[in-house]
Amino acid sequence: MNILRYDGSFYSLICVLVPWLRQRYLPDGIARENARQPLLFAGEETAPASSTDLALACSACDPQVFRLPGVSRETWQNAWHAFLSEAPGIEMAVARYLLLAIEKQGRVDSFMADERVRLIQRLAKKVTFERHRFLGLLRFRSIGDNLYYASIKPDHFILPILAPFFVERFADQRWIIHDRRREMAAVYDLRAWTITERAATDLPAASPKEDSTQKLWQCFFDSIAVRERLNLALQQKFIPKKYWSDLTELPGR
């Protein structure tokens, strides 16, 4: 019985998988280091020490990094996005999908009748859909001199694919996007961005001007609302209620 262990990053997962995939074999299981349990009669392999920097993780989406035959850029991207779903057993699901890609020589994503492909594509779509949703739902508030903070609680670990959008859009501002569910935050300092740990209870106070700005935005939101046409069911369809607590305008009012 062979159990692969990795540090929790996509880059590390691919590092331990590549030797197996090149031989067209799969391990018996894959586990994160922080989920270690004592195992009897089980051989273990561990990924080499690697940075959890997201630049390395994203580099795994480049087919030239590992040169696996049949694994296209689209396949790497689907595997990466599905991995971010954090679904139970996602590591082995990614491994089976990549092995199938090698066997099908680049045509894997057309095999929609195969559950291995459907699972990865379904999870990848969930992750990218939530990321797209937060492009419109994320709300920054001022917490200091040219420093802005946004708090979110997504179902999936979308920070790695959400932050680059705001790096381009707000390149002249320092900001923090805080994932309270995972106690992680994307931090941008005008030069580069990184992901770091941040406690869910660590919620900075807004600047004095921010309260008045938020009140003005709420007044504007209320003034353009047509009370007679208020449809809470429709609001919840487009903006699920689980996201409302992080919105300045407070839907449903």
What one-character-per-residue DSSP string does 121-149 give? HHHHHHHHHHHHHHHHH---EEEETTEEE
Picking from 130, 161, 190, the residue at the C-terminal end of a domain is: 130
Q: Could you tell me if 9 and 101 lie in one domain?
A: yes
Q: What is the pTM of this model?
A: 0.80
Mean pLDDT of the chain: 81
Which H or E element spans position 194? strand 193-197
Picking from 94, 109, 130, the residue at the C-terminal end of a domain is: 130
Q: Could you tell me if 178 and 120 lie in one domain?
A: no
Q: What is the separation of C-alpha 74 from the centre of its chain, rounded to a whole number of angstroms? A: 17
Whether the predicted pLDDT of 239 surpasses 80: no
Average the pLDDT over each of 16-30, 60-74, 127-141 and give the range with the smallest value: 60-74
pLDDT of amino acid 209 = 78
> Residue 191 is part of which domain span?
138-246
Q: Could you tell me if 125 and 143 lie in one domain?
A: no
Q: Do the domain assignments include residue 195? A: yes
Q: Could you tell me if 120 and 200 lie in one domain?
A: no
pLDDT one-digit tens code per residue, 124-150: 999 999 999 999 889 898 888 889 999
Q: Do the domain assignments include residue 251? A: no
Q: Would you place residue 214 in the very low, low, confident or very high pLDDT band (cuts 50, 70, 90)?
A: confident
Q: What is the mean pLDDT of residues 218-230?
A: 75
Q: Do the domain assignments include residue 81? A: yes
66 vs 71, more confident: 71
Average the pLDDT over each of 37-51, 123-137, 157-171 and give the range with the smallest value: 37-51
What's the total number of domains in the chain? 2
Q: What is the mean pLDDT of residues 19-39?
A: 77
Q: Could you tell me if 116 and 146 lie in one domain?
A: no
